[in-house]
Amino acid sequence: MTRDYSLVIMFMLRTEALKLYRNILRQLNNLPDKEQRKEIKDWARSDFEAHRHHEDENTIRSLLYQGQKQLEELEKSIRRANS
């Protein structure tokens, strides 16, 4: 039964990770320079790929939290660059 529960948790975390990736890509659309956009997109993708293998819930959660913080930083710097 604990095994079933963890599958649900993994599914939820996976959905969260995909949401984070989608939000990063959406935020990048606000960046006018196409070269930079591609660079940051590839960098984000490689980060996600590097952590693909994790199984432990806490590791994944802390990585997602870090990712969310990085997204907020990205948002701020894009806003600053565009203003």
Partner 1 sequence: MASLSRTLRFAALIRPSAVLSVVPRAATVGCLHTLTSRESRLSNTTLLSAITKATSGVRSYSAKEPLTLDLIQQRVMLVLKLYDKVNPDKLAVDSHFMQDLGLDSLDHVEVIMAMEDEFGFEIPDGDAEKLLRPADIIRYVADKEDIYE
Residue 54 interacting with partner 1 (CB under 8 A): no
Structure tokens at 37: 């956009």
The values of phi and psi at residue 56, to 5°, are -80, 130
> Do residues 64 and 16 make contact, with C-beta atoms less than 8 angstroms apart?
yes
One residue of 14, 54, 69, 79 binding partner 1 per CB under 8 A: 14
Residue 48 interacting with partner 1 (CB under 8 A): yes
Residue 18 interacting with partner 1 (CB under 8 A): yes
Residue numbers at the binding site for partner 1 (CB under 8 A): 14-15, 18-19, 21-22, 25-26, 29, 45, 48-49
